[in-house]
Every structure is written in C-alpha cells, then in structure tokens.
Amino acid sequence: MVLTMTLELSISVVDTIMLGHYSALHLAAVGLASSLWLPVGCFLIGLTFGITPLVTRHLHGRQPKLVNLYMSQAIGLSVVLGVLASLVAVTLLPYFAGLMATEEETRQVSIAYLYIFAPALPMLALMTAYKNLFEAAGRPGFPLFVASLGIVLNVLFNYVLIFGHFGFPEMGAKGAALASALSLYLAVTLFFVYDRFINKAPLFTRLVWRYTRKFGILLNVGAPAGFAFAFEVGLFSSMTWLISSFGDLALGGGQIVMSYTSFLFTPMMAMSAVTAIVVAKAMSKEGVDGVRKRIRVIVWLGLLYVGICFTITQLFHDQIPYIYSNNAEVVALAASILLISSCYQFPDMLQTVFTGALRGFRDTRSTMIAFAVSLFGLSIPFGFWLSHYSPWAETLSLRGFYIGLGAGLTLLAAILIVRFQIVLRRYEGKRIASPREVA
C-alpha cells in the first residue's frame, strides 16, 4: 500500500520536474491550477475512504455481498459528485486563477490546464474507490501494478506532450494535464477489466442500481473524512494562493516545496490507510488491547521514517530544488523553505496515523472538526501575521506561512491523540463479536 500510494503521487512529482525544466512560468501555472483543483479532488477521494473500514469488517464477518452495496454507492457518489466537481473546475476555478496570477502567460496556462484536466475528476474518485476495495480485502498487489504502469505511461505521455516529440505538438503544462487525465482513465479501465473478467475471486460482482442513488451509509463515514482531507490539502492550496502575492517565481518555489513534501508525505498517507484497516481488524478480533499494541508499532515506524526524511532534507536542502528547476532564484527560495518544512514532518506523521486510527473506529466527524480548527483557526492567521505584520515579517517573508503551518499541525496532532484516547476508553472491554454487530 505504501509503494502504491508513493507511485501514484509520484506522477505529480514527475509533472513538476519535467515542467520545471521546461519553463518556470509553466511550473508556476501548474502549481496555481493544482492548488485550485486539489481540494475538490481530495474531497472526492476522501468520500471513498469510508469503504476501507466497512469492507474490512464485512469481509471479516463473512458478508461479502454487502461489498456490492458499498461499491455501488461509491460509483454513484463518484459519478454524481465528480461531474459537479468538473463543472466547478471549468466555471469557477478559472476565474480565481485569473485573479491570482500576476503574469499573463501564467494566467492563460493555468486556465487551460484546468479545462483539460477537469473531465478526469470523476475517474480520480473511481480509481481511489477500486484501490481502497482491493487493499481493504487484503489484495494490494494489483493496485501496485496499476500504479507502476501509470507512472511509466505518465512519464512517456509527458515526454511526448510537454516537449512535443514523435510528431506531437509542444504543449507544455497543457500536455501535463492531458497526460494525467489519460493516466486516470486508463487506471479505472484496468481495475474494471481485471476484477470483472480476469480476477478468479472478484470483489465487486454486481452493480446494485438502487444503491447508486442511495449514498447514506458510505456518505455518513466518507463525507467527514472527505472534508478533513480537503481541509488539509486546502490549507496547502491556500498557502499557494497567499504566496501568489509575492510573485510568480515565489509560486514556482512553493510548488517545488509542495511536490517534494507531498512525495515524502505519501508513505505516511498510506500508513494512515493501513492503520484504519489494522485498527478495524484488531477491534474485531482482540479489542482495545490489540489496537494499542499495533498503534505503538505504527508510531515507532513513523518516527523512524520521518527521522530519515528530516536528516536527508536538512543535509541536502540546497541540492534538492535543482532536481525540479534550474532557475537560481526559485531554487534559493525553495531551499530556505525546505529547512522549515522538514521540521513539521514529525507532527504531520502523528496526525496522519491517528486520523487513520480514528477512521478505523469510523470516527471521522471529530477529525474533520479538528482539521478545521487547527489548520484554519491557527495555521493561516498565525502564518499571515508572521509574514506581513510581525517584527520579523521583512526577514521571514513567505516563510512565515510555513512556520504557521507547523504550528497548526502540532495542535492538530495533539487534538487527535487526545480524541483517540477518549475513543479507546469508550470501547474498553468491548469488541465487534459477530457479523450482525458489524452490520
């Protein structure tokens, strides 16, 4: 699961690297466009997170036919809300892109990127639903194959479409948008064909039309998770919007930091999904004591991972940005921000693990509230004050926003750890003992 998610988000890293060597303005344009559509896309992804604990518990309870109901709901949600998200991406988001870009070329490229990528948003939700289904069922191999093939094809599509090789026109950022859209459509097609015609033990055997219009059960778990995920990504996106006031080169530096930190964050996101599955299974079989043992192991693994990431980033912060761009000003700015971003990876890991743990208990509303309070109640106001009104504003400049982000993530981790302890005490001495109780 860690490898799968790392490869999936590596597509964004590939886009950033190839565009950074194509044009600094095209890099800034994709950073701006991504900051606008990512919160919408991540809300769609978060909606399907509810599949993980539900499918895990029902398969354990020997109720596999209920999987069809949940996947039918997931398909209905993905199509309906995905089409709405696509409409938002081609109507409202270009308007905001036009307001935030300072260069005319950046503005035009951002809008074109949104127009090309928008129709693929329903596929983003469907792909995540299928991936969550296979992983919750304990079959992570095929999602890994799809992700591996996807990144190889994305590199090829980018090479052909961004730079204009093999007789194709040179499209720049528009080529990156088209490549990403094609990769998503291909991934959904592979999942459907494999599970329907090749898989010897298919998971999703029948589309129940009645449940494609009844979203209640999945929405009850998935909507708060979707909002929480969108809040977190929205915070990073709003950082991009706030940074835009410092110029398009600052946008490019911010996009480098976003791409690099997202790549490092990917295994932690996968760890969150693993935690949700592990907690759901442990509660079914062993109760609270089993959950505690596994959480301790996961937290120690997370600390080991972020310790390695922190060391690498601190040692090579001057060299890492050159992977993405040759522009000296953009590289220098990104290098200074990487020193700050490496420090907030520790609380970021903790909040990610405990978000997954609470999702395993199907407690997603408290996570959504905690994200909203800590990230938008502290991170943005504190970061804005540091960058514009504090005594150190002139020295910190846009770096103040990243210090504010670290403060918000620390508060978020503390809230989620406390909430997890409260939930554990509530379930003390209990476990999910029967399929009927699971239902």
Concatenated DSSP letters of 104-146: HHHHHHHHHHHHHHGGGHHHHHHHHHHHHHHHHTT--HHHHHH
Distance CA 109, CA 117 (A): 12
- Extract the residue ranges of the chain whose pLDDT is less than 50: 61, 433-439
Residue 240 lies in a domain: no
86, 179: one domain: yes
- pLDDT at position 79 is 84
280, 204: one domain: no
Write down the pTM of the prediction.
Answer: 0.68
Distance CA 139, CA 275 (A): 16
421's tokens: 């302890």
Residue 78 lies in a domain: yes
- pLDDT at position 308 is 93
171, 299: one domain: no
Length of the chain: 439
Among 210, 205, 215, 221, residue whose Cα is nearest residue 73: 215
- pLDDT at position 30 is 77
- pLDDT at position 321 is 85
- pLDDT at position 77 is 79
396, 285: one domain: yes
Distance CA 218, CA 206 (A): 17
Question: Which domain range does residue 391 map to?
Answer: 248-427
- 271-325 pLDDT, tens per residue? 887 888 788 778 777 778 888 899 999 999 999 999 999 999 999 888 888 887 7
- pLDDT at position 434 is 44
Among 341, 336, 335, 333, residue whose Cα is nearest residue 405: 341
**Strand segments (E) across 171-271:** none
Residue 51, H or E segment: helix 51-60
Among 124, 395, 80, residue whose Cα is nearest residue 233: 124
**Under 8 Å CB-to-CB from 141, ≥6 apart: which residues?**
none
Query: 36 with 93: CB under 8 angstroms?
Result: yes
Residue 416 lies in a domain: yes
423, 284: one domain: yes
196, 322: one domain: no
- pLDDT at position 439 is 35
Distance CA 50, CA 247 (A): 40
- pLDDT at position 301 is 92
- pLDDT at position 311 is 92
59, 181: one domain: yes
